[in-house]
């Protein structure tokens, strides 16, 4: 894992916020775990909602790799939530790591290598 291992706690909070835009809860990273023989990183968040007179807490774990859609083994997510996770994660990664990430992403999906000079950037 070339990219997800470089991310810090603040980056993971931003990724979580980008995966669930507009979600009204406090969150914090409570655990980042990687097995030495693993090709993924498991990140757990503690999510807290204010509910009436108290707080509701939920620990959610997500599995991340550099180039695959994040997985949430603790939950069954609908298509809308899965699409938001995918869009939020990859948008963050493209913005954070820029052209080298895009180049590696395309290669991981197609086995086609290209030089950065071959690309034409399109404004979003």
Taking only the tens place, the pLDDT of each residue in 36-66 is 667 889 998 888 777 777 778 888 889 999 9
72 lies in some domain: yes
Confidence of residue 69 (pLDDT cuts 50, 70, 90): very high
Is there a domain that residue 105 lies in?
Answer: yes
Q: Name the pTM for this structure.
A: 0.81
Distance CA 31, CA 42 (A): 8
Would 55 be classed as within a structural domain? yes
| Residue 123 belongs to a domain | no
Let me know if residue 124 belongs to a domain: no
Asked if the structure places residue 38 within a domain, the reply is yes
Q: How many domains does the chain have?
A: 1
Tens of pLDDT, residue by residue over 80-109, are: 888 999 999 999 999 999 989 999 999 999
Full residue range of the structural domain in which residue 43 is found: 4-118
Q: Average pLDDT in the 4-15 region?
A: 91
């Amino acid at each position: 894992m070339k990219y997800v291992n470089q991310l810090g706690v603040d980056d993971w909070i931003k990724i979580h916020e980008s995966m669930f835009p507009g979600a009204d809860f406090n969150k914090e990273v409570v655990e980042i775990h990687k097995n030495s023989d693993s090709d993924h990183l498991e990140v757990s968040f503690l999510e807290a909602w204010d509910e009436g007179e108290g707080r509701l807490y939920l620990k959610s774990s997500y599995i991340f790799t550099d180039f695959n859609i994040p997985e949430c083994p603790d939950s069954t997510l609908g298509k809308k939530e899965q699409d938001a996770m995918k869009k939020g994660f990859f948008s963050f990664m493209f913005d954070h790591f820029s052209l080298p990430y895009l180049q590696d992403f395309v290669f991981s999906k197609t086995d086609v290598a290209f030089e950065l000079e071959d690309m034409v950037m399109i404004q979003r």
